[in-house]
Chains A and B, each alone.
Chain A
Amino acid sequence: GNSVTQMEGPVTLSEEAFLTINCTYTATGYPSLFWYVQYPGEGLQLLLKATKADDKGSNKGFEATYRKETTSFHLEKGSVQVSDSAVYFCALIKNGWASYDKVIFGPGTSLSVIP
């Protein structure tokens, strides 16, 4: 079936450190891929997305590249800030072009950035 796997947390980094959160997926066809973020006390927000192979999604200094050959969508940021502390969810929609489909989420990775 369709699924998303991401690295276990929690992850603790010092401010200005480099961040990588690994995400791999299993899906038939050509899914669209997403990273969602949930800041403390807030709802889920779309951080970035990519809809086809080799696309790079970027937002707020975060980047992720859709790698079909490795079925991966790793999230990276060059210099994290305390305000980036949140839970990050990798997700996919297995059929992004046709009619509706549900979002399939990974388990989430909790990130804490310390000053």
Chain B
Amino acid sequence: EAGVTQFPSHSVIEKGQTVTLRCDPISGHDNLYWYRRVMGKEIKFLLHFVKESKQDESGMPNNRFLAERTGGTYSTLKVQPAELEDSGVYFCASSQDLRVNEQFFGPGTRLTVL
């Protein structure tokens, strides 16, 4: 069974440009999460989808970030316009059972904003 996949693995863009990150969760997992690790600091929660609905977006830093999960399958995270402080590694995770809530993480997308 395939794990959580993310695309691209690495993105380098200039300040002011737009970038879209994609996450494909494990098949059948209704819960999808986005996290990011900035500047080697702790990994921080961004938001949580249950199917196509946003359950919790309290970690989204500002309105330059837009996450979608149309159809309740894959998700995209768009940053527009990107700023220098957005550089970091963006992780996606999915889980099936909320009672246990073991989240399976993808390899991450390393975003570099120049």
Contacts and interface: CB of A to CB of B under 8 A. Distances in A.
Contacts of B100: 96
A101 B101 contact: yes
- Chain B: interface size category: 20 to 34
Nearest to A4: B42
Interface string A22-36: 000000000010001
Contacts of A107: 40-42
B114 to A, nearest CB: 22
B107 A100 contact: no
Contacts of A93: 101
B4 A100 contact: no
Nearest to A105: B43
B101 A106 contact: no
Contacts of B104: 46
A43 B91 contact: yes
Contacts of B59: 102
Nearest to A49: B102
Nearest to A36: B105
Contacts of A96: 100-101
Nearest to B50: A100
A99 B48 CA distance: 12
Contact of A43 (B101, B102, B108): B108
Interface string A88-110: 01000100110111111111100
B74 interface: no
Ranked nearest first, the 4 interchain pairs of A and B with the lowest CB-CB distance are A43-B107, A44-B105, A102-B45, A105-B43
